[in-house]
Amino acid sequence: MALERVDGVATRPHAVEVPYTRLAAEVLRRLAEEFVTRDGTDYGAAEKSLEEKVADVRRQLERGEAAIVYDAESETINIVREATMGDRSPKSKQRDQQQKNAAKATGNAAAKSKQDAHSHAPVLPGQKGKK
């Protein structure tokens, strides 16, 4: 695949960024699994489980630190780190921010739901409750 350089960053002229939110959950999972199990992938001294690696990739996608890129010339799809993506359009950056905000809101809602579930636990006779 031919790479071009823009401001010292490698870019792919036939590449299209695919928002991770547009992929079905199972497709995203399989793509992340394929990515983390490639030969030559190094995760440092502490080896992680497949589940941990996939979760790390998902978090990087949610934070905009990585992106899914489809290359029309080679007909391949890949996950790339932000540093290799090159200059991105304002629309792409805006979408990334919306994805980050949505991921943060989902995380906050899950935390609140968990907190609410614990705060509504019934107080059994003989126990002291804080209500």
Bridge partners of 15, per DSSP, are: 71
- Looking at the domain assignment, is residue 52 inside a domain? yes
Element at 76 (helix H, strand E): strand 76-81
**Residue-wise pLDDT tens digits, 24-35:** 999 999 999 999
- Looking at the domain assignment, is residue 121 inside a domain? no
Cα 94 to Cα 108: distance, rounded to the nearest angstrom: 21
- Looking at the domain assignment, is residue 84 inside a domain? yes
Higher pLDDT, 115 or 73: 73
- Looking at the domain assignment, is residue 57 inside a domain? yes
Domain total in the chain? 1
- Looking at the domain assignment, is residue 54 inside a domain? yes
For residue 82, what pLDDT is reported? 74
- Looking at the domain assignment, is residue 120 inside a domain? no
What range defines the domain where residue 63 resides? 4-115
**Residue-wise pLDDT tens digits, 79-89:** 988 765 555 55
Indicate left, alpha or beta for 125 from its phi (over 0: left) and psi (-120 to 50: alpha).
Answer: beta
pLDDT at 20 over 60: yes
- Looking at the domain assignment, is residue 12 inside a domain? yes
pTM of the complete model? 0.54
For residue 15, what pLDDT is reported? 82
Q: Which of 9-13, 90-94, 100-104 has the lowest mean pLDDT?
A: 9-13
Cα 75 to Cα 77: distance, rounded to the nearest angstrom: 7
Q: pLDDT averaged over the chain?
A: 74
Return the DSSP state at 45.
S
- Looking at the domain assignment, is residue 60 inside a domain? yes
Cα 93 to Cα 87: distance, rounded to the nearest angstrom: 10
CATH number of the domain bearing residue 21: 1.10.10.610
